[in-house]
Amino acid sequence: MVITELLERNARLYGAEVALVEINPSEERDKAVTWQEFNLIENADPDASYRRELSWKDFDRRANRFANLLLSRGYQPGTKVAILLMNCLEWLPIYFGILKAGCIAVPMNYRYSSDEIEYCLDLADVELLIFGPEFVSRMDAIADKLANVKMFYVGKNGPAYTEDCMRLMNFCSSNPPPIIMEEDDLAAIYFSSGTTGFPKAILHDHRALISSCRTEQNHHSQSREDVFLCIPPLYHTGAKMHWFGSLLAGSKAVLLRGIKPEWILRAISEEKCTIVWLLVPWAQDMLDAIDDGRIDLNEYILGQWRLMHIGAQPVPPSLIKRWKKIFPDHQYDTNYGLSESIGPGCVHLGVENIHKVGAIGKAGYLWQTKIVSPSGEEVPQGEVGELIVKGPGVMRCYYKNKEATDEVIRGDWLYTGDMARMDEDGFIYLVDRKKDVVISGGENLYPVQIEDFLRGFDKIKDVAVIGLPHARLGEIAAAIIEIREGITCTEEEINAFCEGMPRYKRPKKIIFDKVPRNPTGKIEKPVLREKYCRGRLVEAQITG
SS (H, E, C) 207-245: HHHHHHHHHHHHHHCCCCCCEEEECCCCCCHHHHHHHHH
How many C-beta atoms surround the C-beta of residue 18 within 10 A? 18
pLDDT at residue 197 in the model: 56
pLDDT at residue 307 in the model: 97
Strand partners, 206: none
| Mean pLDDT in residue range 236-265 | 94
pLDDT at residue 33 in the model: 45
Lowest mean pLDDT among 2-6, 399-403, 444-448, 532-536: 532-536
Question: What Rg, from alpha-carbon coordinates, does the chain have?
Answer: 23
Confidence band, pLDDT 50/70/90 cuts, at residue 380? very high
How many C-beta atoms surround the C-beta of residue 439 within 10 A? 17
Per the document, the length of the chain is: 544
Instruction: Map out the domains of the chain as residue ranges.
Output: 4-310, 439-543
Pick the CATH number of 4-310 from 3.20.20.70, 3.40.50.300, 3.40.50.2000, 3.40.50.12780: 3.40.50.12780
Per-residue b/e over 70-90, b at no fewer than 16 CB within 10 Å?
A: bbebebeeebbbbbbbbbbbb
Lowest mean pLDDT among 40-44, 93-97, 269-273, 288-292: 40-44
pLDDT at residue 426 in the model: 96
| Mean pLDDT in residue range 190-218 | 86
Lowest mean pLDDT among 67-71, 270-274, 316-320: 316-320
pLDDT at residue 434 in the model: 66
| 205 touches 185 (CB < 8 A) | yes
Residue 20 has pLDDT above 90, yes or no: yes
Task: Please give the model's pTM, rounded to 2 decimal places.
Answer: 0.83
Confidence band, pLDDT 50/70/90 cuts, at residue 472? confident
pLDDT at residue 452 in the model: 77
Confidence band, pLDDT 50/70/90 cuts, at residue 195? very low
Confidence band, pLDDT 50/70/90 cuts, at residue 296? very high
Record: fold of 439-543 = GMP Synthetase; Chain A, domain 3 (3.30.300)
| Mean pLDDT in residue range 41-59 | 73
In percent, the amount of the chain with pLDDT more than 70 equals 90
Residue 341 has pLDDT above 70, yes or no: yes
pLDDT at residue 100 in the model: 98
pLDDT at residue 175 in the model: 97
pLDDT at residue 525 in the model: 83
Our separate counts of H helices and E strands in the chain read 18, 27
Which is higher by pLDDT, 527 or 269?
A: 269
The rounded mean pLDDT for the chain is 89
Residue 415 has pLDDT above 60, yes or no: yes
How many C-beta atoms surround the C-beta of residue 332 within 10 A? 19
